[in-house]
Amino acid sequence: MRLLIAAYLAFGAGYLVLSAWIFALVVGHPRRREEGLMVAGILALTACIPLLAAYGLWRRWRMVRLLLLVISAWCILASVGTVAMVLTSQTGLIDGQELGFHEEVGETLAIVLGISAFAAWQAWILFRPSVRESFLPKKQKEPLL
């Protein structure tokens, strides 16, 4: 559980560092200043999502656990769909260009593998009995999920 919290803290910190870096790049460029500030602001807001997830896991909020489990399941299903689309595109059954698929196959499969591996690891951690029990209220004995 500590590793999952640390991973979300690292994701949030990475977004904040990237936001500050983009902000520093656009300060001296009057042409790109408005767009750069907008991108830096969006990245700073995006950093709040993993930081809030880390805080919710640390505080043992049941809604955060449920939301992360749903997101994990959705990511794994989307990864399976993406792999199926890549394989059918490679065999010639569908035209990937019409679907908007312009990326390299190896790159796409590597990204999908990384996302689904993180989602599976996250679900495995959140389904462990010790973690499930830590999210229960003090009075309840049996976990619902």
Same domain assignment for residues 115 and 52? no
Helix (H, G, I), strand (E, B) or coil at 134: helix
Same domain assignment for residues 69 and 121? yes
Same domain assignment for residues 71 and 136? yes
145 lies in some domain: no
Please, what's the b/e burial string for 17-54 (b: 16 or more CB within 10 A of its CB; e: otherwise)?
A: ebbeebbeebeeeeeeeeebeebbeebbebbeebbebb
- The residue type found at 54 is A
Same domain assignment for residues 11 and 28? yes
Same domain assignment for residues 49 and 66? no
Closest CA to 119 of 57, 69, 66: 69
46 lies in some domain: yes
Output the pLDDT for position 87.
Answer: 84
Separation of alpha carbons 73 and 91, rounded Å: 27
Share the mean pLDDT of the chain. Answer: 86
The domain of 23 spans 1-59
Domain boundary among 10, 43, 59: 59
Same domain assignment for residues 51 and 74? no
Separation of alpha carbons 108 and 112, rounded Å: 6
Closest CA to 68 of 16, 127, 12: 127
- What mean pLDDT is predicted for residues 102-121? 87
* CA separation, residue 73 to residues 109, 118, 132 (Å): 18, 11, 17
Domain boundary among 9, 32, 59: 59
pLDDT in tens, 26-44: 887 777 777 888 888 898 9
DSSP class of residue 137? -
Domain boundary among 19, 37, 59: 59
Same domain assignment for residues 74 and 105? yes
Same domain assignment for residues 8 and 39? yes
Same domain assignment for residues 3 and 52? yes
Domain count, the chain: 2
Residue where the block lists tokens 């196959």: 105
Helix (H, G, I), strand (E, B) or coil at 99: coil
Same domain assignment for residues 66 and 130? yes
pTM: predicted TM-score of the whole model, two decimal places:
0.75
